[in-house]
Amino acid sequence: MKDNEKNKKRYYHSVRLKEDDCKGCTHCIRTCPTQAIRVYDGKATIIEERCIDCGECIRTCPNFAKYAHTDSLDMLNDFKYTVALPAPSFMAQFDPDDIPLDKVYTALNLMGFEYIFEVAAAAELVNKATEKFMQENKKRPVISSACPAVVRLILTRFPEYAEYIAPLEPPMDIAAKISKDMVMKKTGCNEKEVGVFFISPCPAKVTAVNQPEGKKKSPVDGVFSMTDVFDAVMSRIQEIKETKNYEHAGKYGIIWGVHEGEIRNVHVEKKIAVAGIHNIISFFENVDDKEFSSYEFIEVQACIPGCVGGVLAPTDKFMAKTRLKRLAGRMKESTVKREKVFEDYDMKFFIMEFFNEGRKLQPRSINRLDTDIEKAMEKAEKIDVLMKEFPGIDCGICGCPTCETLAEDVVQGKASKFDCIFVLKEKIKNIKEELGDISSGKRIKDENK
Ligand code: SF4
Ligand code: SF4
């Protein structure tokens, strides 16, 4: 209990539980990639330091008891000037032959966004910055830092790979910094008067804004759910009589919203793209050192087939993927004046604050049994003993994802070994036998021998 209270202060999480709706069915414990969920006393709880806000439990909960906390659209009233940052996956929510992008953006203006800055434009710049970074730094492979769920997965479950994560700002943050600068220059206002809002396909981005890795504060002021914004846009589409014209990002930025989008414009020979949080786990568990170091660049996205499959995106992910590809195919290669941007901002602008300060991303130690080594060893021994009692079939009936996680919880005083139905049955059987012996007088006779 104390641990949880402490961790609540340490970690922000977008993914939360509606306790009243949780039926304790244990569906979610099996799909959580970081074994962050337990079901005790008929209710799920999320272990703060393990959760990476991937949203898998939102997808799988049959009772809709998990949800992603996002900002209210009312936040638009808190700033003098507002900027919408639509993710590339947002563009895929509308059929371009039915509702053209310019009509969607006109609706965003009607909603109260004064400016629109496509994150896809920043993605093009990040592609360029990645190439520059790889020319200047020879350490390989470089793992993309664009998906915050995967960055947290690596820091949580695969800390040995943390040093390979690109120290580059993700496109969302670059878009926020550039657009804020642009509005300030254009209007002469100060930073606090500009509100920059990301339209997000996933809870991981909400967490990345509220508790960013690699910097103290995010340049994004708020994160709206893609579904909320989609609904608001659709409710205004009919009233649009005249559509404005907007400048759009190029195809290489737009295609970032789907699997293999980012690597398409990273010009190295040995590159690989892995999508899906469980596929990524399997990749890191199975790749050997030789294979791993043979890659130059690794794209990793927690969702299938890329961000269009994020849990907050309302449109079917495969329809969205097809739309985005169609849209990208119609765009020019690049409409962003890249060289101009690189004149205005040097490479430091694209590097995460911690790396510019000589610091690094900090892996999370989630498996530490105790800070005292002797006590940790004692606990490890107790776990070994318990594992011999448990059946090892990871049935989940106890409320833990595996027998090993139950054993860990028992030694940490968070669970009882009798939460295991098999251990409990054995205990009941023994008690019955003892009672039988007593009632038949066998035990008394034996004891008198
Ligand atoms: S959001 Fe992901 S990591 Fe967090 S509890 Fe749900 S499934 Fe587990
Ligand atoms: S792949 Fe994209 S949508 Fe999915 S968690 Fe990562 S950033 Fe979010």
Q: Residue 9: its pLDDT value, please?
A: 60
Which residues of the chain have a pLDDT value below 50?
Answer: 1-7
Distance from Cα 128 to the centre of ligand 2, integer Å? 21
**C-alpha to C-alpha distance for 99 and 112, rounded to whole angstroms:** 19
Q: Residue 368: its pLDDT value, please?
A: 76
- Which ligand 2 atom is at minimum distance from the Cα of 205? 8
**C-alpha to C-alpha distance for 398 and 400, rounded to whole angstroms:** 6
Token look-up 């009672």 returns 435
Q: Residue 2: its pLDDT value, please?
A: 35
Percent pLDDT > 70 in the chain is: 94
Question: Is the Cβ atom of 143 under 6 angstroms away from ligand 1?
Answer: no
Q: Any residues with CB less than 8 A from the CB of 63 and at least 6 apart, and which?
A: 21, 22, 23, 25
Q: Which of 22, 32, 157, 364 to mutate to test the pocket of ligand 1 (most atoms within 8 A of CB)?
A: 32
Distance from Cα 66 to the centre of ligand 1, integer Å? 9
Are the C-beta atoms of 25 and 62 separated by less than 8 Å? yes
Q: Which of 14, 57, 206 to mutate to test the pocket of ligand 1 (most atoms within 8 A of CB)?
A: 57
Greatest Cα pair distance, the chain, in angstroms, is: 101
Give the closest residue (by CA) to ligand 2 atom 8: 202
Distance from Cα 203 to the centre of ligand 2, integer Å? 8
Please state the separation of Cα 277 from the chain's center in Å.
9
Q: Residue 6: its pLDDT value, please?
A: 40
Distance from Cα 330 to the centre of ligand 1, integer Å? 37
Domains in the chain and their CATH numbers?
A: 2-68 (3.30.70.20), 73-138+167-261+308-356 (3.40.50), 373-448 (no CATH)
Structure tokens at 328: 């990208």
Q: Which of 153, 307, 317 to mutate to test the pocket of ligand 2 (most atoms within 8 A of CB)?
A: 307
Question: Is the Cβ atom of 327 under 6 angstroms away from ligand 1?
Answer: no
Task: Give, rounded to a whole angstrom, the gap between the first and last alpha carbons of the chain.
Answer: 49
Distance from Cα 49 to the centre of ligand 1, integer Å? 11
Q: Any residues with CB less than 8 A from the CB of 45 and at least 6 apart, and which?
A: 4, 17, 37, 38, 39
Q: Residue 201: its pLDDT value, please?
A: 98
Q: Residue 333: its pLDDT value, please?
A: 74
Distance from Cα 213 to the centre of ligand 2, integer Å? 15
| Phi/psi of residue 196, nearest 5 degrees | -110, 125
Token look-up 């304790």 returns 24
Residue type, 125: L
Distance from Cα 79 to the centre of ligand 1, integer Å? 33
Question: Is the Cβ atom of 65 under 6 angstroms away from ligand 1?
Answer: no
Give the closest residue (by CA) to ligand 1 atom 8: 32
Give the residue ranges of DSSP H helices in 335-441: 338-344, 353-356, 373-389, 403-411, 421-440
Q: Residue 3: its pLDDT value, please?
A: 36
Ligand 2 neighbours by CB, cut-off 6 Å: 54, 147, 149, 201-202, 204-205, 301-303, 307, 310
Q: Residue 340: its pLDDT value, please?
A: 66
Are the C-beta atoms of 156 and 364 separated by less than 8 Å? yes
Distance from Cα 284 to the centre of ligand 2, integer Å? 18
